Amino acid sequence: MAWLLLQCDNRVDAFLLEVGVAAEARLRRDLRTLASKGNALRYPKTDSLGDGLFELRTEVATNIYRNIFIFRGSVIIVLESFQKKTPKTPKRHLDAAKSRRDQIDAGTIFPGEIKPH
């Protein structure tokens, strides 16, 4: 199955500009893997956060990164991207992802493509 990978509000593009070169390369590689494997990509690379949200898990050296995403048919939409600095996913990131998901489902915001490297 071919998966289309989209982002919400240019979240991924903006985040990739903030991280270093090594982190950007690894994050892009993991996003490409997610786009090619979709829901066949399993733990430990992805994990369910509940409520229809999933996380793509990326580690670079001692840094941990997360992309929170949803599935809509054959489309994967990344809702939130961040560097994880605590053992538990911060509530503000979960709340932001849920809000964007609800806005997408209501048709008030529309996801777009992730810019190529």
- Supply the pTM of this predicted model: 0.95
Taking only the tens place, the pLDDT of each residue in 29-74 is 999 999 999 999 999 999 999 999 999 999 999 999 999 999 999 9
Domains in the chain: boundaries: 4-75+83-107
What integer best gives the mean pLDDT of the chain? 95
The answer, yes or no, to whether residue 117 has pLDDT greater than 80, is: no
Which stretches of 1-117 are assigned E, i.e. beta strand?
A: 4-7, 46-50, 53-60, 63-72, 75-84, 112-113
3-state SS string for 82-115: EEECCCCCCHHHHHHHHHHHHHHHHCCCCCEECC
